[in-house]
Structure 1
Amino acid sequence: MARFLDRPAWTALTTRHAHLAEGGELARRYDPSIVPFAATLDDGAECLAALASLASPGEMMLFLQADPVALPANLTATLEADGVQMIAREHLPEVEDPLIVQLGEVDAADMLELATLTKPGPFTLKALRLGGFWGIRRDGRLVAMAGERMKQPGFTEISGVCTHPDARGNGYARLLSLFVAGRIAARGKRPYLHAWASNAAAIRLYESLGFTRRRTMHVTMAVRTS
């Protein structure tokens, strides 16, 4: 398996998402109005110094990598947790369902409201710049969604999978995850995703869909303090 998924944000920001990157050859981040992910080439002093200059005081950065996250002196961790990285088996079928609709800019406020309520991970009004999103509406209200986030050569991450509490128990997360994974596979990319290591229910769901655990990941949210 490609080791560049050990630092998925770095690989994305230097390849398929380079057009969304801020920074240089040692440290990069996404435009923070899109998503707060940042990453370095490695944990050396030069890379950490480059990272230190990317954020303004008070700005947040989110790190996701296989190795423990090293921070420069002007960044202070506000959250540290374990995650798991999971990769789909090959040859996933495409799934179609009339309930599923593609989401666009006109849906952004509804998407943000749903993500704020359910907290699937960092989400902003500009998340659609990362990739496609699809959802399910019930009586006009967006009750479930899933989409694409980081992209590397040969891989696309599934993210933003969430269901409104009033609509749980209908299999919407399963359906949308299969739908997005199938679309990614149909374009010749391998779907993968991340989940909190503590979220046993989500991990069981993804395993039942044909995803296998690749490795444990370190998640750190940090703020620039000076």
Structure 2
Amino acid sequence: MSHPLDRAVWNALTTRLSSFATPESDTRAVRIDPEVGVFLSAADASPQSRARLSELARLHPGAGLVERADGPMADVLPDGIAVARRINLVQMTAGALTPSKAPTIAFETLTAADAPAMLALATLTRPGPFRSRTRELGPFVGIRRDGELVAMAGRRLRVDGFTELSGVCTHPDHRGQGYAAALSRAVVGEILASGEAAFLHAFADHPATIAFYQSLGFEVRAPMVYTILAD
């Protein structure tokens, strides 16, 4: 049996995050609400699943698929939809945090009132797909300076035994202050306290980012590929 993280999108949208799937999703393919995210996934490589995948891709343009790069679903894509880009990722997991001597940094839990600021920060820093209602996958936490949201981190995909750390970003004018580490530790600490392990996806060609997460206690688990479909 495959690991639940090998197909994190499919497993999340058909179980713990099924309430975020579009009404047209079914047992053959699922698409997350476009206001929440970009994810699209098929049940398997059968012609029926692939046909449904293609229908959902046409119905909700601009979708993205995340699959294990060396797995059987890596090249199961919608028919008749152009691929805008394919990006290599690494999936990382953590069952414990490394010790930290960094000073405590105050943060707060973000609310619906913070949605515009969260979207603006994510649009500026591009930590990954972030839409107007992505915050609903959270909770997210953030740091303010002079009333401005300058850093945040939160949760995204949830599968059996694992919750994803996501949306980690810091405004360019406020980097180097330890904000990303502090917020990541806060979110991961809560995930671990709940009895689950944490996971995340990082760009494979960003060694500094991978090293940063390794310093927190994450280890590379598997190669993944993120396929962005044309609008």
Could you tell me the TM-score, scaled by structure 1's length? Answer: 0.93
Give the equivalent residue in structure 2 for 1:61: 63
Quick check: 1:200 aligned with 2:216? no
Contact 1:85 1:195 in 2 (8 A): yes
Question: Across the two proteins, how many residue pairs are aligned to each other?
Answer: 224
Give the match for residue 51 of structure 1.
Answer: 53
Shift of 1:64: 0.5
24 and 43 in structure 1: CA distance in 2 versus 1, 3 angstrom threshold? same
User: Is 1:126–2:128 an aligned residue pair?
Assistant: no
Please, which runs of 5 or more residues in structure 1 have no aligned partner?
none
In structure 2, what is the Cα distance between the partners aligned to 1:90 and 1:201?
21
CA distance in 2, matches of 1:143, 1:151: 26
Q: 1:37/1:58 Cα in 2 relative to 1: closer, same or farther (>3 Å)?
A: closer
Structure-1 separation of matches of 2:58 and 2:52: 13
Q: Residue 37 of structure 2 aligns with which residue?
A: 35
What is the aligned-residue identity percentage?
43
Which aligned runs of 4 or more in structure 1 are off by greater than 4 angstroms?
95-98
Question: Aligned partners of 2:20 and 2:223: how far apart in 1?
Answer: 26
What is the root-mean-square deviation in Å for CA atoms of aligned residues?
Answer: 2.1
Cα shift at 1:128: 1.9
Q: Does 1:184 align with 2:199?
A: no
How much has 1:96 moved relative to structure 2?
10
Structure 1 match to 2:170:
163
SS in 1 for 2:63: strand
Return closer, same or farther for 1:77/1:57 CA change in 2, 3 Å cut-off: same
SS of the residue corresponding to residue 109 of structure 1 reads helix
**Aligned residues of 2:151 and 2:171 also touching (Cα < 8 A):** yes
**How far 1:72 sits from its partner (Å)?**
2.5
**Superposed displacement of residue 192, structure 1:** 0.5
TM-score by length of 2: 0.91
Identify, as 1 or 2, the structure richer in strand: 1
The alpha-carbon deviation at position 138 of structure 1 amounts to 0.7
Where does residue 89 of structure 1 map in the other structure?
95
Structure 2: runs of 5 or more not aligned: none
SS of match in other structure, 1:170: coil
CA distance in 2, matches of 1:83, 1:77: 17
Three-state SS of the structure 2 residue aligned to 1:75 is coil
| 2:17 match | 17
In 2, Cα distance between equivalents of 1:174 and 1:56:
39
Partner SS for 1:53: helix
TM-superposed CA distance for 1:34, in Å, is: 0.6
Report the CA distance between 1:97 and its aligned residue. Answer: 4.2
Contact map agreement 2:42 2:49 (CA 8 A) in 1: yes
Aligned to 2:222: 215
